Structure 1
């Protein structure tokens, strides 16, 4: 049974993944996000980090008083121990831990765990029910399998970057870890799928997921359109190749709204809300396929109509008529938004390391009977060394000291 504490009255035993144990030996973004999703729904996730340094994400991006903020999100609800997997002590400890876990999550370059004596064949001999979720840049097979890889490369390789941006400008990378994040979500899904199968068969297996693969599928009909019609999708700004209108538009007060008319009835209501019903009767815009051919001209007409309104007044008109539009929110807008507040999409947690409350995105999705919940923000480095390595596995303090493992006291981070 999971050792994660109860949160807001939701008992671990009521969470759908309660009782499953996950050993997370990964770093950075994609694989830790996988185990984050598992922890959100009750899995007991034990994170293994490098002594002294920890997960690289502790040193990414913004920090407060030296504490990496994104780490707090990606590793929420997990416990942290420190081990150097390159050493005999680290490898032996992993072997002890996998005796009693359901899943191990890793994202080292292909062949690295095997080099350290921790390949799946070795670990499965210890625990035949073990599932190994392997997230790598290029996968375990194929001519690129030994190359280093990460999300930015995957976004270009999968075809996303080629279609992102304006047609007369260079292709654009996304402004967040798109490939890593989508990979983390898919890895969590595949892990739960394998856990379900293991209940039937009693056997574990390897999940082999390359970072570019999920994004390749999510990009839409590119492959089938190329196969059947020879089409290569080009950059078109905010437009889509299969529906129009679809873009962002500036309002009179300098704000922006997003508008999409994926169905004919939706387009009619948009024109009604904007006071331009004549556009519906215009042969250039009478059907979705006609609008796709004339998307640039349509955008000009819509922009001229939209800039007659301030954003809030425009959105109120759209709501009244039932037309489709949304504000282009910044994170400040999101945190203050009444609907996001009502849906509890942002949660406030106490963080002892930061000495106060911390807000972050909440668990995605709402299960009516067994909802997920975030136990706590990401832990201090090595916070659970004593509980796991000494109390659970039986090592002595002298053995840990010889292996370079710190034993942080409560309320104190591991040595930097």
Structure 2
């Protein structure tokens, strides 16, 4: 009755089976925002199926376009679709709360995990609708610009290069000693450069292969060309930019002591966020939650003795 938002991720119909659907909840609290996260949404032929992020990564086209051309479709090694859906859901909830400020009424947020990842994949539906184009797997290459790839350095590490801007592509060619390629007619646009990726990858890759990663990064920075080291989590933990941003911060856990973990996702100048704890011990808030629902300490004690909580 006092909540602003209720978030649930049961299959459609589960809350209704418990007589806790939108009709019942909104009757108790008309200002409530009920947020329903499912694999496939609240309606449609797949709505009742169990759904996970992996299925969204497969259905959306992500897996089909990820990987090398002659290799199987590739799924991400982490919860990509789930994470994108979480960010999209947070924005949807804030939008619903903003609407409530105008109307005085809450509403239902219906989030299907299969949808946000499709949105962030770009204009593929439009390409197919208007041009019949289906984006193929291109490995680390891009259909929109080149050179764009990962390259191995002389000391056996890897760097990633992007030339999404024409000026950056020209700087890279001058840096690697191939300025004559800039004068080629096909060099003038990203799409044309992408069609000559073999030539450009060879030029960039050969130069990078003769230099250490530190030298490559320094040379690219001096040339104002876009490059980044390919890092694993060990590198992330010591990266000076992440350190400056406090992206990986230290949280004091009462049981485990100092823990390093990802910080709040963004920085607000007037109302910055922070991490109060890494995770509450199991049952730490049971008493507060149950008494907040109207149960007395005696009621809670009785429930504990009966093994209910």
Q: Same fold (TM over 0.5)?
A: yes
Q: Structure 1 residue 390 and structure 2 residue 294: aligned? A: no
Q: Structure 1 residue 376 and structure 2 residue 270: aligned? A: no
Tell me if the contact between 2:81 and 2:113 (Cα under 8 Å) persists in the aligned partners.
yes
* Aligned-partner SS, 2:154: coil
Q: What's the CA shift string for 1:270-318, capped at 9, x where partnerless? A: 1222222222223443432321211233212221121111011110011
Tell me if the contact between 1:284 and 1:291 (Cα under 8 Å) persists in the aligned partners.
yes
Q: Structure 1 residue 336 and structure 2 residue 254: aligned? A: no
Q: What's the CA shift string for 1:53-75, capped at 9, x where partnerless? A: xxxxxxxxxxxxxxxxxxxxxxx
1:360 equivalent in structure 2: 261
Q: Structure 1 residue 298 and structure 2 residue 204: aligned? A: no
What runs of 5+ residues in structure 1 fail to find an aligned partner? Answer: 1-98, 407-416
2:211 equivalent in structure 1: 309
2:13 equivalent in structure 1: 111
Structure scoring higher RCO (CA < 8 A, sep ≥ 6) equals 1
Distance 2:59 2:82 in 1: 13
Distance 1:338 1:210 in 2: 37
1:94 equivalent in structure 2: none
Aligned residues: 307
Q: Structure 1 residue 404 and structure 2 residue 307: aligned? A: yes
* Aligned-partner SS, 2:84: helix
Distance 1:327 1:300 in 2: 19
Q: What's the CA shift string for 1:308-362, capped at 9, x where partnerless? A: 1101111001111111101111111111011111111111101123x21111111
Q: Cα–Cα, structure 1 residues 350 and 249, in superposed 2: closer, same or farther, change >3 Å? A: same
What runs of 5+ residues in structure 2 fail to find an aligned partner? Answer: none
Distance 1:400 1:156 in 2: 44
Tell me if the contact between 1:285 and 1:298 (Cα under 8 Å) persists in the aligned partners.
no
Distance 1:157 1:352 in 2: 42
Give the counterpart of 1:196 among 98, 119, 134. 98
Distance 2:306 2:202 in 1: 67
Distance 1:213 1:104 in 2: 21
Distance 1:337 1:201 in 2: 47
Q: Cα–Cα, structure 1 residues 191 and 173, in superposed 2: closer, same or farther, change >3 Å? A: same
Tell me if the contact between 2:82 and 2:113 (Cα under 8 Å) persists in the aligned partners.
yes
Tell me if the contact between 2:153 and 2:210 (Cα under 8 Å) persists in the aligned partners.
yes
Q: Tell me the TM-score normalized by structure 1.
A: 0.71
Tell me if the contact between 1:131 and 1:204 (Cα under 8 Å) persists in the aligned partners.
yes
Tell me if the contact between 2:145 and 2:192 (Cα under 8 Å) persists in the aligned partners.
no
1:81 equivalent in structure 2: none
Q: Structure 1 residue 276 and structure 2 residue 178: aligned? A: yes
Distance 1:146 1:296 in 2: 47
User: Cα RMSD over matched residues?
Assistant: 1.5
Q: Structure 1 residue 158 and structure 2 residue 74: aligned? A: no
1:324 equivalent in structure 2: 226
Tell me if the contact between 1:347 and 1:361 (Cα under 8 Å) persists in the aligned partners.
yes
Distance 2:150 2:306 in 1: 56
